[in-house]
Chains A and B, each alone.
Chain A
Amino acid sequence: GEDVEQSLFLSVREGDSSVINCTYTDSSSTYLYWYKQEPGAGLQLLTYIFSNMDMKQDQRLTVLLNKKDKHLSLRIADTQTGDSAIYFCAESIPGTYKYIFGTGTRLKVLA
């Protein structure tokens, strides 16, 4: 079945790096995504990675993809208080129009 799992909480100090992890089940997924949700709002795309890539870097964000283990991670360098939010990983299911989201990781950045 389609299932995306994440740890529920992460707490880091301002200036440290944050690493948010995700495991997914559909090995045929072509795209994997990271979304950010501010309190009481909808989700916004942070970054995505194509399945034939191992790594993608975008300013403070680094995405690592391990297809063998079906593991995706998001690293935020120099984490700021404004990074406090819920982070969702998601996969698009090939052959369908479905996007499956994880449980979300609530990141709390301590000043």
Chain B
Amino acid sequence: SQTIHQWPATLVQPVGSPLSLECTVEGTSNPNLYWYRQAAGRGLQLLFYSVGIGQISSEVPQNLSASRPQDRQFILSSKKLLLSDSGFYLCAWISSGPGELFFGEGSRLTVL
């Protein structure tokens, strides 16, 4: 069966520090992968998606970046965090679309 893992689950970081959130999918190959951010009152915002290794599409201008070094690994990064980067980050995958997106349990980031 397919599973999706995100880590860390909770992160508290100072402003200006770097960030790395990881997402791994198991039990499937060549998934489409997504990073969303959930902030209070703003719903679920699509940040990045990837249809293959090294292929990243960015949806919003920001100081975050994403990488897909392996087929089932998706990484969200920042060199210098801002206060506004605080939120609940969700990774999701789909084997082929359109269809059901499967979400990870999320990573809660607090930037102080």
Contacts and interface: CB of A to CB of B under 8 A. Distances in A.
Contacts of A90: 44, 101
A104 B43 contact: yes
Contact of A97 (B32, B44, B105, B108): B32
A42 B51 CA distance: 21
B43 A88 contact: yes
Quick one: which of A35, A43, A99 has the most chain B CB within 10 A? A99
Contact of A103 (B32, B34, B43, B101): B43
Interface residues of B, number: 26
A111 interface: no
* Majority secondary structure, A binding face: strand
B43 A101 contact: yes
A103 B92 CA distance: 17
Contact of A45 (B38, B42, B59, B101): B101
A42 B90 contact: yes
B32 A48 contact: no
A98 B98 contact: no
B100 to A, nearest CB: 5
Contact of A100 (B46, B51, B97): B46
B104 A42 contact: yes
A33 B43 CA distance: 15
Contact of A41 (B41, B97, B98, B105): B105
